A and B are shown apart, each in its own frame.
Chain A
Amino acid sequence: MKKQLIFRMAAFLLLLVGVVALSNRTAHAGSQENAANQVKIDNFSFAPATLTVAPGTTVTWKNSDDVPHTVVSDDQVFKSKVLDTDEKFSYTFAKPGTYPYFCSVHPKMTAKIVVQ
């Protein structure tokens, strides 16, 4: 009887640890997508102007400006459609390298992604 109770408690604890670990992982993944790998477009500029990520990372751009912008790499590796306010664009960087890009509507807006 007592043995069974200990077993049950242990199982419950294990489950709890598992849930906490899982939720931690989810939270971690979420924060990565929201902050570390995101470029904010606002006031006719990309922030951060240089973003460094590991190969395989998906970078997301979000337009928070009240005019439309685009995200176009200088050598056309990636190219978004026009992004209206609050619209997003994502691209996954497989290979290491430096990827300069700009807004093809307002070409004074330039920035780069460094993959290493």
Chain B
Amino acid sequence: MSDYIIHNPNNDGIDRRGFLKCMAWAGTGAACVLQGGVLKSFALGHSHNGHVGSLKGELSFVQISDSHIGFNKPANPDVIGTLQAAVTKINALPTPPEFVLHTGDLSHLSKPEEFDALDQVLKSLKTSRVFYVPGEHDVLNDNGKQYLERFGKDALGQGWCSFDQKGVHFIGLVNVLDLKAGGLGNLGREQLEWLEKDVKHLRSSTPIVVFAHIPLWAVYPDWGWGTDDGAQALSHLKRFGSVTVLNGHIHQTMQKVEGKVTFHTAMSTAFPQPQPGTAPSPGPLKVPAEQLRNLLGITDVDYVRGRHSLAITDSPLTT
């Protein structure tokens, strides 16, 4: 049941067939593992007989995204309920995560009561450590002042941060402020300068995990799914042997491997969005109630020391 890249004429580390299969499985639970530029995918059911199970390593953490607390329209009038389901799922993981990353759009309209409700739900996480980066919905009207006071107390600048955990260097970036007319996500010069300094002292063998709301790679610029100066950020990470970029914003899983960099987007805990170009706009995808939780989920990431690759597992709320 696993697909290996045997031959890749594009030399970009991506096997189209394996990649598509992996993506297709994302809706029902799949693990995508990159090893030495080789992408393998396994159905989640195989974790019990060793495939994914054997990948458990020193560090395990979970990414959740796009909770949009305050959203109350079709297809999900109960975004608090689905966030609670995500928390239940995280708490039931066989390997408890060391921390949780929330990659933005905590709220729908940046209202204090929406942030309160998110706080309340995440209190029932077994891990008390949650790291955040803001989404564009968290910085409405006040340029992120309220977000920063509540969720970015230890962060720098407009909310960016970095920390080390078990030999892995984590970098949280903010690309939802000072957006320019006609443009995409924006990191800005100050943050890019900080990033350059932040990684300067690190050995090239240090695994890097970058998390930010809007994808740092051009997923679908027509819908604003990309970051104008994302390439500049990645240029500062060129010398590293393992870079994993985790994003949200597009409410669906996608993965791309470019050399030593793995890009991955997570599902939302609130509502799905259409695949690029398949709808007139990227607005919420209305699906039958019984299908909703297949399209919402969490992302579990494992790091095995010495392997220089992180195992990324997406699983929907239903399984």
Task: Flag whether A33 is at the interface (Cβ < 8 A).
Answer: no
How long is the Cα–Cα vector from A92 to B141 in the complex, in angstroms? 21
- Do residues B179 and A104 form an inter-chain contact, with CB atoms below 8 A? yes
Task: Flag whether B15 is at the interface (Cβ < 8 A).
Answer: no
- Do residues B224 and A106 form an inter-chain contact, with CB atoms below 8 A? yes
- Do residues B182 and A107 form an inter-chain contact, with CB atoms below 8 A? yes
> Which residue of chain B has its CB nearest to the CB of A85?
B73
How long is the Cα–Cα vector from A81 to B110 in the complex, in angstroms? 12
A-B contact count (CB 8 A): 56
> Which residue of chain A has its CB nearest to the CB of B136?
A105
Task: Pick the interface stretch among A1-9, A21-29, A47-55, A60-68.
Answer: A60-68
User: How large, as a class, is the contact surface on chain A?
Assistant: 20 to 34
Task: Flag whether B57 is at the interface (Cβ < 8 A).
Answer: no
CB-defined contacts of B141 to chain A, threshold 8 Å: 81-82
How long is the Cα–Cα vector from A100 to B43 in the complex, in angstroms? 50
- Give the contacting residue for B184; candidates A67, A82, A104, A107; CB below 8 A: A107
- Give the contacting residue for B222; candidates A70, A84, A108, A110; CB below 8 A: A108
Please, what's the 1-or-0 string for B195-213, where 1 marks a CB less than 8 Å from any CB in chain A?
0000000000000000000
Task: Pick the interface stretch among B27-35, B155-163, B281-289.
Answer: B281-289
How long is the Cα–Cα vector from A21 to B137 in the complex, in angstroms? 48
Distance (Å) between the CB of B71 and the closest chain A CB?
Answer: 8
Please, what's the 1-or-0 string for B224-248, where 1 marks a CB less than 8 Å from any CB in chain A?
1000000000000000000000000
Distance (Å) between the CB of B144 and the closest chain A CB?
Answer: 12
- Give the contacting residue for A108; candidates B73, B109, B224; CB below 8 A: B224
* Residue positions of A touching B, CB distance < 8 A: 43-45, 65-68, 70, 74, 81-82, 84-85, 100-102, 104-108, 110
8 closest A-B pairs by CB: A102-B181, A44-B281, A43-B281, A82-B140, A107-B179, A108-B224, A43-B280, A74-B181
* Residue positions of B touching A, CB distance < 8 A: 73-74, 108-110, 136-137, 140-141, 179-184, 221-224, 280-284
